[in-house]
Amino acid sequence: MSNHRIDTDENKPLMARHRGYLCLAGYLDYRVALTWQQKLMAARRDRPDLADVLLLLEHPPVYTLGQGASEAYLKFSADAAPFPVHRIERGGEVTYHGPGQLVGYPILNLRRYRMDLHWYLRQLEEVIIQTLATYDLSAYRVPGLTGVWLEGHKLAAIGIKVSRWITMHGFALNVCPDLSHFGAIVPCGITDKPVGSLAQFRPGITIADVQPHLIAAFTDIFGIDWQTLSLSELATRE
């Protein structure tokens, strides 16, 4: 399967450019990141003129379940969880976040792009596919599933929430995480496709290596002109 963009209306680049804030938040507790997302989304529901935001970060080890996720996909009891577990308002089943995983939370006003959730999910996948293409890796989609795969391994998970066309949650790209932590769950409820990492295909790769390529791909696909801010600077713009 090709890593090249399919030339359809769904994948054509957007012509208009938009301003946005890029926040490289580093190593951030999951609950703190969630609170930031909720705050940014709420502000944009009230003031849709506010600039879009992309938070890029890593989390300490944590498991999250989507709003309707089944606890049957947890291989541990609630009182013996190896890491914190949070049920949140995104779609999808259980997943793991942890060090070595590049997590992106776009807070976008889809009225500026396309008011189509299917289209938005495909664009997030395309960001990952183009990022991996910079390493001469032909990542691909699997029909009927959300995410990005490489040689039979799922390298990126995607789960979103959209309210009044403002997005939150987003994607997680496994760059060089400890994959054994996925062993305590059935990731995304998929039993027949293993989770993988970029480090399996490009040994020694780091988050710092990948992040600029992902930013470039996101910029190209969504047409955003970024101003890079810290979390404290971002707070003053809201």
Is 96:179 a contact under the CB 8 Å cutoff?
no
Q: What is the pLDDT of residues 40-83, one digit of tens each?
A: 999 999 999 999 999 999 999 999 988 888 888 888 887 788 89
pLDDT at 17 over 90: no
d(CA 49, CA 43): 10
Residue 9 lies in a domain: no
Q: Which of 103, 108, 185, 188 is catalytic?
A: 188
Q: Is there a catalytic annotation at residue 23? A: no
pLDDT at 6 over 70: no
Is 3:35 a contact under the CB 8 Å cutoff?
no
Burial readout 37-74 (b: 16 or more C-beta within 10 A, e: otherwise): beebbebbeeeeebbbbbbbbbbebbbbbbeebeeebb
Q: What is the pLDDT of residues 123-134, one digit of tens each?
A: 999 999 999 999
The domain that contains 130 carries what CATH number?
Answer: 3.30.930.10
Lowest mean pLDDT among 9-13, 211-215, 226-230: 9-13
Q: How many domains does the chain have?
A: 1
The encoded tokens of residue 29 equal 């507790």
Residue 3 lies in a domain: no
Residue from 52, 97, 117, 81 nearest 188 by CA: 97
pLDDT at 84 over 50: yes
d(CA 169, CA 159): 6
Model pTM?
0.91
Q: What is the pLDDT of residues 141-170, one digit of tens each?
A: 999 999 999 999 999 999 999 999 999 999
Residue 12 lies in a domain: no
Domain span including residue 163: 21-237
The encoded tokens of residue 80 equal 């013996």
Lowest mean pLDDT among 35-44, 108-117, 191-200, 207-216: 191-200
Residue 125 lies in a domain: yes
Residue from 211, 207, 235, 208 nearest 53 by CA: 235
Residue 106 lies in a domain: yes
Residue 15 lies in a domain: no
d(CA 197, CA 1): 18
Residue 122 lies in a domain: yes
Residue 230 lies in a domain: yes
